[in-house]
Amino acid sequence: MLDKTIFLGYIDPGSGFVITSLGVWVAAFFLGFLGIFSLFFKKILGFVRKYKKKIFFVLSIIIGLSIIGVIVMSSQESEFNKKVVILGFDGLSPRIIEPMMEQVRLPSFSALKERGSYGHISTTNPSQSPVAWAGFATGQNPGKNGIFDFIVRDPKTYGLDLSLSKIEKGKPIRVLKTKAFWQYTSEKKVPTVIIGCPVTFPPDKIYGRMLSGMGVPDILGTEGTFTFYTSESLDKSKDIGGKVFHVDKQKVMDMYLIGPKVAIAKGKPENVKVSFKATIQEDNRSIVIEYQGRKSRLKAGQWSNWQEVNFNLGFFKKAKGIFKFYLAEAEPEFKLYISPINFDPRSPFFEISYPKKYSKELADTLGLYYTQGMPMDTWVVNEKRLTEKAFLEQVNEVLKEKKAMLDFELKRLKKGVLFCYFESPDIIQHMFWRYTDPGHPLYEEDAPQEYKDMIQSWYIKMDSVLGQVMKGINEEDTLIVLSDHGFDTFRRSVHLNSWLRQNGYLALGDEYSEQGSELLMDVDWSKTKAYAIGFGAIYINQQNRELHGIVNPGAETEALKEEISAKLKGWVDEKYNKPIINKVYHRQEIFWGDNSDKTPDLYVGFNIGYRASWQTALGAVPGNLIEDNIKKWSGSHLFDPNLIPGIIFSNKHITKENPSLYDITPSILKIIGLSDQELNDCNFDGKSLF
C-alpha cells in the first residue's frame, strides 16, 4: 500500500517493506531438525566409507561432463564482434541542445551530428521516465510491457501503489511484463552490460552484467526517505520526503539511524534503530559523530564520506547500509541531515546486480556508490532543509560515480552491447528551471548567474561524457545517444479530482467538506463516476471492475469518456486565459496489448506550463482547481508527449522517419544480426532506425 511520502517528486511507499524476524521459534525448529538429521548421519557416513571408490568414480564423471558442457556453451558465443554503445541522457531537450550546438558550445554532440545523424525522437504516452525507459528497453507500448504510470491502483480496493518495484513474500518481483533487449542479446550470446537502466529491479539474469537502476529502494523499502535532526522548533506542516525530528541542542546529543521494519511474533512491526552520538566541538562549527565503534568529524557545510551501518534483524541476520551525513548548521541552531540509507553494494539485502557479486566488484574497484535507484534527494531542497549548494555537491558525486562505472566497463568491452543511464540532466532541470523562466512564480531576476546557467552547464557535462565515449569506440562500432523526452517549465498545478468534483463526476462522503484527503479516502463511491490518480490518469468507476463501480461498461462508459474529454479540452485557466489541456487520450489510442485492461480509461495531455498536482497523484481532492507551483521542483516533462520530444544522435545514418523510443530495441537487435522475420515475431511497436 502507498503511504503519503513523496520523494524526488515521485510518490513513495513510505511504509516500505517489513522483514519477518525468524525469532526463537525458528531457532527451536532448526535445533529439532538438526537432532533428527543426526540420527541418520552415522548411517550416511558408513555408506560413504563402504562405497567410496564407486562414489569417487561417479563424481569424477559428473564433474568432467560439467566442465565439457561449460566449454561447449562458451564456444557458442555469438560471432558478433563489434560494439554497440547506448547512452541514455534523461531529459535532454531539443529546445536547449540545438541553440547550444549552433553556438558551438557542445563540440561532441556537434561532431556526432556531423558524422552520423541527429533528430527528434518521440517519447511514450505518458511521458514519464519509467514509462519511457520501459518503452525504450522493450520496444513495446505500456499496454504490453505493463509500465504506464508511476502510480497504479487496485480496482478491487482502490488502493494505490508504486509501479517501479514490487515485493512479494519478502522477495522483489520483476515489474516489466515483457522481454527487454538485453534478454534477446543474451539468448544470442552477445555480451551485454546494463548500468542503471530504470525499472530493472530485481536485475535480470543476462549474458553479461547488470546493475539495477530506478526502482531499487533504500534500506527502509522506500524510494528514498531522509532523516533530519534540528534544534529549531517544528511547525505543524508535515515534511513529505523524510523524517524530521526536534533535538535539544546540547554539547552531546543522542540520535538514531532508522533501519527497516521487522515483524515480530506479536505486536506491530517496528523500525530497527542504531543510536549515535553527536558532540559539538569547541569551535562551535563542527561535530564528532560516534556509533558502532566508528568515529568521524564533520564541519558545518560539509558532506561526510560514505558511512557504514549494520542493523540487527534478529537471529544472526543483518541489513548492511551505507549513507552520508551533512552538517547543515552547528551554530546558532543544530541541523543534521542523514541521507536515505542505501544498500551496501558489497552485501545488499536484496540482489541489485547480476551476477550477484557484480555490485561488490564495482565497489571494490571504484569505491562505494549510491545503490538507491533515485539517488538525488530533491525533496529535502523542496522543503528547504538543504541548500542548492549542498544538493549540487550530491548531484556531482552521483555523476562522478556513474562516469567511473561507464569508463570501467567501456575499457573492458571487447564486443557486445553496453548501455549506461545518466539521470543527472533530468534532475537538474527539475530543480533549476525556475531560474531560466521569467514567467515562473519562483523566478528570481537577481539570482546568482551560476544558477541561471546551471541547466546549460549540465548539457556541457553530458557533452564531455559523450566525448570520452567517442574516443573509446571504432568507426565500425555503433553509438546511439538519446533522451527519453524533452523538458519545459512547470508553472501551474492542476487538481484533476477537484475538477471532476466540480463537474459532478466525483463526490465526497461529506458533500459540505472543502476538500478530500489523499489516497481517495473521502470519496463517496456510490456517487462517483470517475476519479484521477497519478500524473494525468483518469479511471471510470466501472461496474464489475471497481469495488463500488456504478458506471455500466460498454456504451455508458464510452459516452462518459467522450463527455469528460470534451469538457476537459475546454478548460481555461482564468488567471492567464490559456487552455490547460492540449489533448485527452482514450485508452485504445495509446495502450494496446495483453496488459491494456489495467491502464487508465483516459489520459490527460497538458499544455506546457500545466501539470497534474502532487495531490492529484495521491488521489486527493483539494478545495481549489488550480494554483501556482511554488515548489523548487519547477521544470517538468509531464505534458502532452507531442509537445516535448526527446533527442537522438547516432554515428550511423538514421533512415527511419519520425523515430520513436520504441525503435531502439529493434535497432539494437537488427545490428547484432536478428533477421526481419525474427524481429516481426517479437511483436515490437517500433522498427529499426537503420
Phi, psi for 321 (deg, rounded to 5): -130, 165
d(CA 136, CA 160): 26
Residue 690, domain member (yes or no): yes
Mean pLDDT value across residues 545-567 = 98
Asked if 617 and 681 sit in the same domain, the reply is no
Asked if residue 154 lies in contact with residue 120, where contact means CB atoms within 8 angstroms, the answer is: no
Residue 367, domain member (yes or no): no
Q: Is the pLDDT of residue 7 over 50?
A: no
Of 64-73, 322-331, 637-646, the range with the lowest mean pLDDT is 64-73
Q: Is the pLDDT of residue 281 over 70?
A: yes
CATH number at residue 462: 3.40.720.10
Strand 226-230 vs strand 242-246: parallel, antiparallel, or unpaired? Answer: parallel
Q: Which of 154, 174, 150, 172 is nearest to 163 (CA)?
A: 150
Asked if 134 and 262 sit in the same domain, the reply is no
Asked if 616 and 631 sit in the same domain, the reply is yes
Task: Please give the pLDDT value at position 40.
Answer: 46
Give per-residue pLDDT as tens, 283-341.
999 999 999 999 999 999 999 999 999 999 988 889 999 999 999 999 999 999 999 99
Residue 167, domain member (yes or no): no
What pTM was estimated for this model as a whole? 0.91
Asked if 345 and 306 sit in the same domain, the reply is yes
Asked if 210 and 224 sit in the same domain, the reply is no
Preceding omega of 217 cis (within 30 degrees of 0): no
Q: How far is the first Cα of the chain from the last one, in angstroms, to the nearest whole number?
A: 44
**Who wins on pLDDT, 253 or 316?**
253
d(CA 344, CA 410): 24
Of 62-76, 103-117, 485-499, 632-646, the range with the lowest mean pLDDT is 62-76
Give per-residue pLDDT as tens, 153-211.
999 999 999 999 999 988 999 999 999 999 999 999 999 999 999 999 999 999 999 99
CA angle 283, 286, 287 (to 5 degrees): 120
d(CA 660, CA 654): 12
Can you give the residue range of the structural domain that contains 403?
A: 84-140+178-216+373-487+645-690
Asked if 576 and 589 sit in the same domain, the reply is yes
d(CA 322, CA 384): 24
Give per-residue pLDDT as tens, 400-435.
999 999 999 999 999 999 999 999 999 999 999 999
Mean confidence (pLDDT) of the chain = 92
Residue 145, domain member (yes or no): no
Q: Is the pLDDT of residue 47 over 80?
A: no
d(CA 531, CA 522): 12
Asked if 63 and 20 sit in the same domain, the reply is yes
Asked if 478 and 498 sit in the same domain, the reply is no
d(CA 422, CA 637): 16
Residue 2, domain member (yes or no): yes
311-327 in b/e form (b: 16+ CB < 10 A) is: bebbeeeebbbbbbbbb
Residue 355, domain member (yes or no): no
Asked if 202 and 235 sit in the same domain, the reply is no
214-239 in b/e form (b: 16+ CB < 10 A) is: bbbbbbbbbbbbbbbbbbeeeeeeeb
Asked if 496 and 481 sit in the same domain, the reply is no
Contacts of 446 (CB under 8 A, 6+ apart): none
Asked if 570 and 671 sit in the same domain, the reply is no
DSSP notation for 419-443:
EEEE-HHHHHHHHHGGGT-TTSTT-
Residue 584, domain member (yes or no): yes
What are the C-alpha distances in Å from 215 to residues 218, 352, 372, 418?
10, 10, 8, 20
Cell numbers given for 38:
543426526
d(CA 596, CA 589): 11
d(CA 638, CA 604): 10
Give per-residue pLDDT as tens, 579-628.
999 999 999 999 999 999 999 999 999 999 999 999 999 999 999 999 99
- Residue at a domain's end among 314, 349, 384: 349
Cell numbers given for 525:
463511491
Asked if 204 and 101 sit in the same domain, the reply is yes
Residue 603, domain member (yes or no): yes
Task: Please give the pLDDT value at position 267.
Answer: 79
CB atoms closer than 10 angstroms to residue 547 = 12
171-185 in b/e form (b: 16+ CB < 10 A) is: ebeebbbbbbbbbbb
- Residue at a domain's end among 636, 658, 675: 636
Q: Is the pLDDT of residue 67 over 80?
A: no
- Overall domain count for the chain: 3
The percentage of residues in the chain with a pLDDT greater than 90, rounded to a whole number, is: 86
- 88, exposed or middle or buried, with CB in 10 Å at 0-12, 13-18, 19+? buried
Give per-residue pLDDT as tens, 10-25.
344 345 778 765 443 3
Cell numbers given for 658:
519520425
